[in-house]
Amino acid sequence: MTDFSEGLDLTNLEVTSEDEINANLIRVWSWRGPLYEMSANSLMLDYAPDFAKLHRRASDLFGRPSHVNIILLGIQNIHSYMMFGFETGLRNQFNSNRRNGLSREQIMELVMFSQLYAGMRGLGHVFRAVGEQLASFGPPGEPLAPFPVGWAADPAAFKCGLDLTTREMTAEDRTNLTEWYELTIGYLPDSIKFGLKHHAEFVKVNRAKWEVSIKSLPKQVVPYLMLRHHTITGSVEGLRESALLARAWGITPELVVQGIMNSAMFFTNFEGLYAARAAVDDLLENWG
């Protein structure tokens, strides 16, 4: 952390000079992307500069200047902006993630995973944001996006052994799916139990989509995205499942906390932490 961040003197909340304001806005404009961050910063700096500086302090925890944090926040934002229909934000995140080393194909993996939650509406928002430009996107910026130590692609980790030659949920499919959950997170979630009882064919095809959505990205992006989603929705069961999958796939407790806290900062305020405390507090204390 630094006392001077993106043109702002964060040690002095009482005084914000015109030079500081201009330096910050010039910094944001340097990306030459959508102007929503510039306009949002303008509102804070013009009318509540102390608030703006505190916001920058908080932003330094979860995004810039850390390259890893930029990527981790960016992949979560793709998901959230699809959910909320924030098309300007989607365009900005496509630009930011490519600039910081993710390929078009990797970003589209995030989009397809997020479609499981955002549906066709979410894909519509993505197309309106960037669809007409996607074909012309060149290779990502260098260096390629850095992920936390130990994060790696592992498409096989998602597979539970479904027989996709038939749409029917076979007895072997049920066994394989149940065993995957029990071996990975320790139990079969009630959501899956309910689906198997009342519409097993949907469970099979939706699980198959889940299994093929992430190929070249690290497998750990999936529980990290799930942490964001369930913090916003306040799902205790969903957050616990997300944290257990994160633990099984080698995500550190510090990064689990980061994924929850940055979601609270940008989307829920402190109220988002009620579900987090109920869901994961005991896990974080006994992570090993």
Distance from chain centroid for Cα 75: 4
Answer yes or no: is pLDDT of 86 > 80. yes
Q: Which residue has the higher pLDDT, 244 or 24?
A: 244
Say how many CA atoms lie within 13 Å of 10 toward its Cβ.
17
Domain boundaries, the chain: 4-62, 67-136, 155-285
- Residue 8 bridge partners (DSSP): 5
CATH fold of 155-285, please?
A: AhpD-like (1.20.1290)
Residue 9, φ and ψ in degrees, nearest 5: -85, 100
What is the band of 142 on the pLDDT scale with cuts at 50, 70, 90?
A: confident
Answer yes or no: is pLDDT of 33 > 70. no
Query: Distance between CA 80 and CA 48 in Å, rounded?
Result: 26
What is the band of 31 on the pLDDT scale with cuts at 50, 70, 90?
A: confident
Query: Distance between CA 279 and CA 144 in Å, rounded?
Result: 34
Q: What is the mean pLDDT of the chain?
A: 94
Instruction: For residue 189, give every residue at least 6 positions away whose Cβ sits within 8 Å of its Cβ, in sequence order, or none.
Output: 181, 237, 241
Answer yes or no: is pLDDT of 220 > 80. yes
Claim: this prediction has a pTM higher than 0.95: no
pLDDT at 82: 98
Residue-wise pLDDT for 155-196, tens only, equals 999 999 999 999 999 999 999 999 999 999 999 999 999 999
- Is residue 237 a contact partner of residue 191, using CB atoms and an 8 Å limit? yes
What is the band of 35 on the pLDDT scale with cuts at 50, 70, 90?
A: low
Answer yes or no: is pLDDT of 277 > 90. yes
Please list the alpha-helical segments (H only) found in 7-103: 18-29, 36-47, 49-62, 67-84, 87-99
